Structure 1
């Protein structure tokens, strides 16, 4: 290169302040750094390259070479003089700023606009005619790489003259010309002329976008890619710096653990002496070579979680998955699952492997090696945030800052671990227009998605779950759904969603009355021998019902073993298999309705005085706190009374959760349980292995009541409450009674049936008709037998014909609730990304200012760190050495946060801002000082703003 090219006069990364070494990194070098990372990530021998090349129907070497070239173009927008003017203090050798040009549009969108409106035409004029034909067709690839900050670029037409000078456009053009010579000499452009390539690319573009985000993050790591301001030929920098440094970065990443073999249930779970029928099914059900989908419905205590983990290990061993993400309804259920997984997850892999396990909201027991890995460690060396002249909260963050922010939130980080546990919300964000959703989708890609307590989600979340299942199936993922019971319509819609992702028509499920039931698709077709061993006789399951699934024309569907070139090779089947029930979990529960809180308080005190342990599950935090306070006022000793709800700081919540499990869990005995009382909300409804002698519940929909009743006499115990583990042992306590706090479900119930005593219940569960049907069904039956009555109970409330029984006076409120349900579904359809459109702004409502929720039933929540004022300084509420601020966090409804934030004294607000700038853990949280006399929070009661004026 005779003279230095003009593109060496542009900076790409810059240090926020002077320090050792160059103050900036030249733009072409940063572009090459990122491309080098992406090139090695997509090396032809990697699983991700093999999968993507197969799905695109191109050669692996071709794909690596082409996407590497695209990645070098990811920061074209930084050629904008408006961007370069953000730092005028770096060097006289760089282009001069233009004061007229304001950086008011992000560089990712500017880069795509520059390509579309200027560079395409210029390149077409300078290329050979054969080469020029492809130049106008590659916009989708450029949208992927320029959208490397987690959102697709804007498609608006900008007045480029407001951002770029003519010299900038020319420098970018010369840069691209030189890149063509470096990367695409003798390249076969013919695949780019294939229209079908872009149809195949659309559903895959989300994975490419995730790779682009990761490549930009890793390529921005100054610990490896040290700044260089000295011009040198692009090929020299590529060979001597970019590629070697990229190899170092990738070598420092956690190595994928090697999958182990499935040997036996007892190898995975040594404590299981006799597998349950469902667990035997999980160990023996034949698998196909395609992504697999299971719905496991069984009673509480049937070992659903263990069965799901058995299936997970088999899927990993078969090469259908590399890891696992478990999505749960609540934080409490995630904590409990994390503890259970900690004992078994290593068994998914070969002995000596070090798979990573991460709790999606946890601040404890994090793998140090995982946190400190290059991929997931926060980067100490920051580069300049791209200030655009607006308020600080509106600033455009650099790749390093985005990386730190994303990874500071362990809820997101869990999606990148080999085994992650968290709320389902974190996975659902993969199908919503939320920044970095492509990274979430990429993280889920080769994992088994295990969703527990599926019945617990409302219509909005179920629609999002259907979209997630479709997307997950499309990228080759398997899924397992667990539930005590599911309405038939829900089972059909979830199965159909997974089938759609595989390019199959929805199966016609046989509507079996059987329960427990396992649904499996795509299962081996009837008459076609499976590759696995046939099941031995007496495995504890009935004859499976096989339903062939028909293919349908979907241009975006993946190609799996049942399809080759869009043609059917072998029809997969959907198998519905009745499962036997162990005698230990078969039981009859009597139901007794209680009319008043006074009755309940009296019963709780009486039964506790008899030495029994009692739980009352309330529907709202406010009612739980009131019941707790009433019992204290009536003389119940504080040491016998426990309160558990969602408004506790993490450190207190962990303490309460552990104490609850010790007092009422599987290993508890007479000494722990005697006379103990727990007042709780829905946090104990799911996934916690709790066992109460006496259980009282506020009215709720029937499926939730069945779930709650599963915490009544869950384990076999003697009359004192000590565990009996001998086979065939019978419970020594009296017959189980489930007490239901509800009004009389009479035929002439009026519109105020639930008011005023149950107003909170109606606010949480607004479908009054379904509540009335639930109460009436239990009143008519006087109880229920499990598993025999499970289907009758569920369909007796949710089936279309059941709705005709709702009293006329309740129908208006029920219609309102139905209307809200329809609105929820419509909102989900409106909010969810149209993934078949590809990674583009047209795929959804991509708006930086709009936060799309994962739940509509809850108002927006705010993550708040509680602080104490100690000697004039704000300290974390949690008095621990590690993760103190994380353990001090609490989630508050936005309405309550606004109420309490107004009470923060002005003199503390500046200290809070200073603290947030000093503590990286606080940058993404609000801070609430707990001041003397406010009585906002206590370790026993949790948070309440009731005492404050509105």
Structure 2
């Protein structure tokens, strides 16, 4: 006979059974947590299951049970007039009220007031299973006998007693009076909260945990139903899928080419299973990604992790990085029965394991929000929407490729941040292009480093040349977490590049200067071009000469303008492409594929001849591409070095044919820089008069003047010999900036300090533990942090009208929402959006749960086109 509901005790047992099976699947998790807390594994298991068994204590109230009265499902007497409102008392918050009244009537916990508060904090970790910590304060007044009755309290007491009997003994609670235990508990509470949320989600899967409304002894249900189903349920999500670390047999067993000095370092540097930090500084094209994968493999083999996540500065070039990781990861890890473990690309368009892609919880007709006005949803609805979002799911997969934003959200007060903490546990974290981070992101990164190291994680940072002060700060953060004395850097010379920096518990700080990879040394002559017309003329001449050329612009709107003008001057406009970040994913993927086909390492002379690309900064990020001719807008020196790294990156013969084993026979590389005329005494608007957008994007005319001055004096970029000298020439603390530009630099420095302070303000106070006091501004998970001075960005899903409803802008059998998504940075650009009305939005989300966290906009109301992407009709400065 079909059950009409699932009795609450069975759901609580289901969730606890998931927790039991998680600990069985990942015994090292139980050991780590128990050892960290200073208790035995058996004590931890008992305590953990007890928390799960009480996570929905707030559902044992008349007010919550009244939700099901209209369905005829309530099997207890309810007071007349009782109702449920998430605004006055959500069921997760009500857990506190139930516990306090049950304790008052018949306390099970006897100890000091401090110990009681600590134990109550512990239970609050599990009451906050809907993504935010609950405030431990009364929501049901003493005179309110409707929402929480004496009968409710009696039922709760009976359940608590049953749980103690069920567990075989009362969880040992004496350690809650220990102050050091309380501190450790607060530190680990973030991970416990993620585990609790995961267990609740998986234990709510009605496809596996079928409804049961008939009474049976709890031990029988646990043994015969809950545990077997829980094993099946966690296998379905694959978050805790078993992985086997493959033996590391050396670099040459993984790659078909000889290792570079950096890659040899990664192959040989001592590694342990304790938290380790590596900062790898080298030129573009030196093979930093492969070095990081080798180092990750060795860290995994040493016991330092069981998976990896690679965080990129943006998703604009993620497909290429995904391909590089996907080609290698199965040599590092194998899954169940020797299969490849799941790997997920965070924008959702590429996943190499269908099982993980299809993981979603079963829902039933009863799975509607408890309180739609307060957005209080069931666990299965939360999970389906969250797992449908591949940006988030990539963190939970054994192997993920996504943005650094997704990991930084683990230390921000966003709903379900604890799931990101869970996703980071046991991962080796690789962060690419660290030099591109601004003050705001660096502040958050320091918090992330503290969290990750405290969980036993290791971190690999890939970067071009870092300013010395920044490298020192990153090293000191790691040293503090390890409890080590902060020591100054030793390798601080201008010739200390390429460089590998390592910090570990066993060896402390180690720095090693490395030779550069043969063939990556570069001497690039620099010419200045002062007008857009001359830039366009040079591109036309390159096309006529059969070369492939690129103009890297500093803003989207300038790129669109140049693209329009260039197409009008080309005999074959189809040879020209526009590439920036403000395309929907489908069109961005198509452009990335075009760029790789015509500018990639294996591109032939025929494929390259006459091709021209107008791009923004996305061209310099994580793409293994090579241009014959390059123009760059004047920018900061580190960006310019990155761009120049894509000029003659691969060796070719005079015609452009790949020549991997020989010299480059093309004319020596010359970088043309579109810039204002140099002046030893520039006026205040020296840069703004030339390019308002460059001024807007960088806001640092003084440092850009220093960049141009260096190029004016030397006439070249010489890599790697002058790499650090160039960085310090521009960013050094004692450099001289013309008086007319100093005010703008002071304003930028003020904004940077404010941005750093904002990072501290926005970030969670991890030491306070999983509690609302960790940050007063907990928000929904629908905003991404930006990468420039704390600017937030909005994710927009473009839709089109389809008869009486809407559908994604891109038609696709799967992942249509992801493929129709574009990210817009800044309030100016997103403030005027015309979003779908609430009725149309809800109807769309019913069909496409992934869209829950995005703005839905009818494409016809936007300036978006397939050819140019999201332009700016107002003409003000655009993001990259």
Q: Same fold (TM over 0.5)?
A: yes
Q: What's 1:671 paired with? A: 606
Aligned to 2:710: 777
> For 1:521-532, what aligned pairs fall within 5 Å after superposition?
521-523=502-504
How far off its partner does 1:136 sit?
A: 4.9
User: Does 1:467 find its partner at 2:447?
Assistant: yes
Question: Is 2:425 the partner of 1:445?
Answer: yes
User: In structure 1, how many angstroms separate the alpha carbons of the residues matched to 2:410 and 2:706?
Assistant: 36
Match of 2:546 in 1: 611
CA 1:733–1:57: 2 relative to 1, 3 Å: same
Q: Distance in 1 between matches of 2:298 and 2:786?
A: 33
Q: Kindly indicate whether residue 675 of structure 2 is the aligned counterpart of residue 689 of structure 1.
A: no
Aligned to 2:818: 886
Displacement of 1:380 in angstroms is 4.0
Aligned to 1:76: 57
**Aligned to 2:687, what secondary structure does the other structure show?**
coil
Tell me what 1:914 maps to: 843
- Tell me by how many angstroms 1:883 deviates: 2.5
Match of 2:492 in 1: 512
The 2-side partners of 1:948 and 1:497 are apart by 42
Separation in 2 of the partners of 1:608 and 1:772?
31
Query: Is the alpha carbon distance of 1:194 and 1:123 closer, same or farther for their aligned partners in structure 2, counting shifts above 3 Å?
Result: farther
Query: 2:348–2:815: 8 Å Cα contact kept in structure 1?
Result: no
User: Matched residue of 2:519: which SS?
Assistant: helix
Q: Which moved more, 1:59-68 or 1:351-360?
A: 351-360
Q: Deviation of residue 234 (structure 1)?
A: 3.3
Aligned residue in 2 for 1:11: none
| Alignment gaps of 5+ in structure 1 | 1-19, 524-561, 563-570
Q: State the match for 2:34 in structure 1.
A: 53
CA distance in 1, matches of 2:29, 2:131: 20
Task: Please name the residue that 1:316 is paired with.
Answer: 300
Equivalent position of 1:257 in the other structure: 243
Paired residues of 1:385 and 1:397 also in contact (CA < 8 A): yes
Task: For residue 871 of structure 1, report the CA deviation from its aligned partner.
Answer: 6.5
Structure 2 counterpart of 1:42, from 23, 28, 34:
23
Give the equivalent residue in structure 2 for 1:792.
725
The farther-off stretch of 357-366 and 85-94 is 85-94
In 1, the alpha carbon distance for the partners of 2:697 and 2:589 equals 25
Change (3 A) 1:670 1:54: same
* Offset of residue 919 of structure 1: 3.6
Distance 1:626 1:378, change over 3 A: farther
SS of match in other structure, 2:686: coil
1:96 aligned onto 2:28: no
- Once structures 1 and 2 are overlaid, which stretch shifts more, 446-455 or 97-106? 97-106
* 1:580 corresponds to: 515
Residues 31 and 911 of structure 1: CA distance in aligned 2, closer, same or farther (over 3 Å):
closer
Cα deviation, 1:1-38, whole Å, max 9, x if unaligned, reads: xxxxxxxxxxxxxxxxxxx8233222222122111211
The CA distance in 1 between the partners of 2:688 and 2:457, in whole Å, is 47
Q: Deviations over 1:900-927 (max 9, x none)?
A: 527x8x9xx8666534433434444444
Distance 1:107 1:622 in 2: 49
Deviates more, 1:28-37 or 1:842-851: 842-851
Does the 8 Å contact 1:283/1:311 carry over to 2? yes
- Does the 8 A contact of 2:317 with 2:622 survive in 1? yes
Residues in 1 aligned to 2:111 and 2:122: alpha-carbon distance in whole angstroms: 19
User: SS at the partner of 2:717?
Assistant: strand
Deviation of the 1:134 alpha carbon: 5.4
Q: What does residue 302 of structure 1 align with?
A: 286
Q: Structure 1 residue 834: deviation in Å?
A: 1.4
Specify whether residues 659 and 147 from structure 1 end up closer, same or farther in structure 2 by C-alpha distance, changes over 3 A only. same
Matched residue of 1:643: which SS? strand
Q: Which residue of 2 aligns with 1:355?
A: 341
CA contact (8 A) 1:75 1:111 kept: yes
**Partner residue of 1:148 out of 108, 129, 138:** 129
Residue range with higher mean Cα deviation, 814-823 or 586-595: 586-595
| Counterpart residue number, 1:559 | none
Q: Name the CA distance, whole Å, in 2 between partners of 1:177 and 1:436.
A: 31
The equivalent of 1:863 in structure 2 is 795
Q: Give the aligned CA root-mean-square deviation in angstroms.
A: 2.6
Q: Deviations over 1:746-770 (max 9, x none)?
A: 2321111122331111111012211
Name which of 669, 678, 701 aligns with 1:768. 701
User: Unaligned regions of 5+ residues in structure 2, if any?
Assistant: none
Match of 2:367 in 1: 384
Aligned to 1:542: none
Report the 3-state secondary structure (helix = DSSP H, G, I; strand = E; otherwise coil) of the residue aligned with 1:754: helix
Question: SS at the partner of 1:713?
Answer: coil
Mark the CA change 1:257 to 1:187 in structure 2 (over 3 Å): closer, same or farther.
closer
Matched, 1:497 2:497: no
Structure 1 segment 473-872 matched on structure 2, within 5 A: 473-513=453-493, 514-523=495-504, 572-726=507-661, 729-802=662-735, 805-848=736-779, 854-855=785-786, 857=788, 859-869=791-801
Preserved contact between residue 278 and residue 579 of structure 1 (Cα < 8 Å): yes
The CA deviation at 1:137 is 3.6
Q: Could you tell me which residue of structure 2 aligns to residue 230 of structure 1?
A: 214
1:627-676, CA deviations, whole angstroms, 9 ceiling, x for partnerless residues?
Answer: 00011223452122110011212111111100111011111121111121
> Which SS does the other structure have where 1:138 is aligned?
helix
Match of 1:535 in 2: none
CA contact (8 A) 2:246 2:332 kept: yes
Decide whether the 8 Å contact of 2:4 with 2:211 is kept in 1. Answer: yes
Cα distance in 2 between the residues matched to 1:497 and 1:260: 32
Query: Is the alpha carbon distance of 1:856 and 1:653 closer, same or farther for their aligned partners in structure 2, counting shifts above 3 Å?
Result: closer
CA distance 1:290–1:66, shift in 2 (3 Å): same
For residues 666-693 of structure 1, the C-alpha deviation after alignment (integer angstroms, 9 at most, x for no partner) is 1112111112110001111111011111
2:548/2:609 contact within 8 Å kept: yes
Farther off after superposition, 773-782 or 859-868? 859-868
Cα distance 1:247–1:132, how it changes in 2: closer, same or farther (>3 A)?
A: farther
**How many angstroms does 1:872 deviate by?**
6.9
| Deviation, structure 1 residue 102 | 4.5
2:213 paired with 1:284: no
1:364 corresponding residue in structure 2: 350
Where does residue 406 of structure 2 map in the other structure? 426
Q: Which moved more, 1:711-720 or 1:915-924?
A: 915-924
Task: Specify which of 176, 182, 191 is matched with residue 207 of structure 1.
Answer: 191
Query: Quick check: 1:222–1:381 contact (8 Å CA) kept in 2?
Result: yes
Find the residue that maps to 1:21 and give its secondary structure: coil
Residue deviations 1:87-114 (CA, integer Å, cap 9, x gap): 2223352332553554222221221243
Q: Deviations over 1:392-429 (max 9, x none)?
A: xx320110011011101100100111110001000100
Cα 1:192–1:585, aligned 2, differ >3 Å: closer, same or farther? Answer: same
TM-score with structure 2 setting the length? 0.93
